[in-house]
Amino acid sequence: MATNEKTSILIIYTGGTIGMREDPVTKTLAPMKFGMLLDEIPELNKLGYSISSITFKPPIDSSNMTPAIWAQLAKTIQKNYTKYDGFVILHGTDTMSYTASALSYMLENLDKAVIMTGSQLPIGVLRTDGKENIITAVQIAAAKKEGRSVVPEVCVYFSSQLFRGNRTTKKDSAQFSAFASHNFPPLAKAGVDIVYNYDKINYPQNKGVLKINTSIDERVIIIKIFPGLSRRYFEALLQLPELRGVVLESFGSGNMPTSGWLINAVKNASKRGIILLNVSQCPGGKVLMGHYETSLALQKAGVISGRDSTVEAAVTKLMFLLGQNLSPEETKYYLNNNLKGEIEI
C-alpha cells in the first residue's frame, strides 16, 4: 500500500493515439513525450491524488503489441505493486482487448485496479475523448470501499463505461464508444456519478501476494471459417511445423461445414496433440457444442467449446495455458473452466 496519506496512482504510458500529435510537415501522427501529454490534462491535479508515471521508450503503436510487451507490463505492475493503490495503462485501442485479456491471466492474486484506457482522438485535439477517459480511469483506479479497491480487476474504461478487460472487443474505429462487452454487463457506468455494478465485479476470495506468470506460447493461430474455405489451405494450416493451438472462428453457435475432409483434418490435428478451441464469429451469444449436427462432429473430433469467449480472450488464454507446460488433457480442462471471468460456465 501507499506510505503517504494521498491515494497514489501509477500511470503506465505505452503509447497509442491518446499520446499522439500531428507532424506539421508530414501530417502523420507520432508519439509525444508523456510530460507533454500531462500538460494537456491539468484537471488531474485537482483530483488530489499522488500521480506518478512510467513511459515505455519508445512509445508503442498498439499494432506492434507483442507477448513480450505484455510480460513487460506485468513485471512493471509487480515491481511497483506495493507502492501504489491503483494502476492506469494508456494503450492504443487496436489491440487493447488482447493486452487486457493477457494481463488478466498473467496477474495472480490481483487485489488492486488495473484500468486500461486510450482515446480515438489525440489528447491535443480540441474534441479529444482522451481527457475524460484518463480522468475517470484514474478515479476508478483510486476508488476504495471499506479499505479495498472497488474494482480489483484488469479492466477497460472507454466512453463512460468500465468493462472487464477479457470480455471486451473493439467494435468501432470511428465512434468514441470504441469498445463493447457483448456477453457481460459493464462493471461501472460514469455519468454524473460513477455507478458500480458490484454484483458483477470479481473480488479475490483470499488476499495473497501478487504473483505474475508471463510464460506464453506463441505457436497459436486463428482460422476463420467461411463458405468456400479451401481444403488445401485448411489442411496446410493444421500441418504447420510446431503448431500447438488453433482458435477456430465458427458460424453462429459453433457450427462448421460437415465436409468429411474438414472433420478428418480437425480429428487428425487433435490426435497429434494440437488444441483446437471453438469460438463464434457472432459478437453476442455463445458456442453450444453438439446443439446442431454441424458442431457435434467437431465435439467428437476433440474440439473444445470456447463458450461465450471473445476471440481476444480465447487466443490469449490458449497462448497462456500452452505456456504452462501442461498436458493436453490439463490444457483442455482449464480451457473448459472460467479462470478470470472470461467465460460463463
Q: Does the annotation mark 17 as catalytic?
A: yes
Residue type, 160: S
Let me know: does 189 contact 161? Beta carbons within 8 Å: yes
Which residue spans within 166-271 are E strands per DSSP?
169-170, 179-180, 188-190, 194-196, 211-212, 220-224, 245-250
Let me know: does 321 contact 306? Beta carbons within 8 Å: no
C-beta contacts of 271-274 below 8 A and 24+ residues apart = 271/302, 273/244, 273/328, 274/238, 274/243, 274/244, 274/245, 274/246
* Short-list 48, 6, 14, 20, CA closest to 135: 48
Distance CA 175, CA 113 (A): 26
Let me know: does 252 contact 282? Beta carbons within 8 Å: yes
Distance CA 87, CA 116 (A): 8
* Short-list 148, 11, 9, CA closest to 73: 11
User: Is the Cα dihedral 10, 318, 284, 16 positive or negative?
Assistant: positive
Distance CA 321, CA 338 (A): 13
Among the listed residues 17, 99, 117, 214, the single catalytic one is 17
H or E stretch at 51: strand 50-55
Distance CA 113, CA 201 (A): 11
Let me know: does 41 contact 131? Beta carbons within 8 Å: yes
Question: Concatenated DSSP letters for 78-115?
Answer: HHHGGG-SEEEEE--STTHHHHHHHHHHHEES--SEEE
Active-site amino acid positions: 17
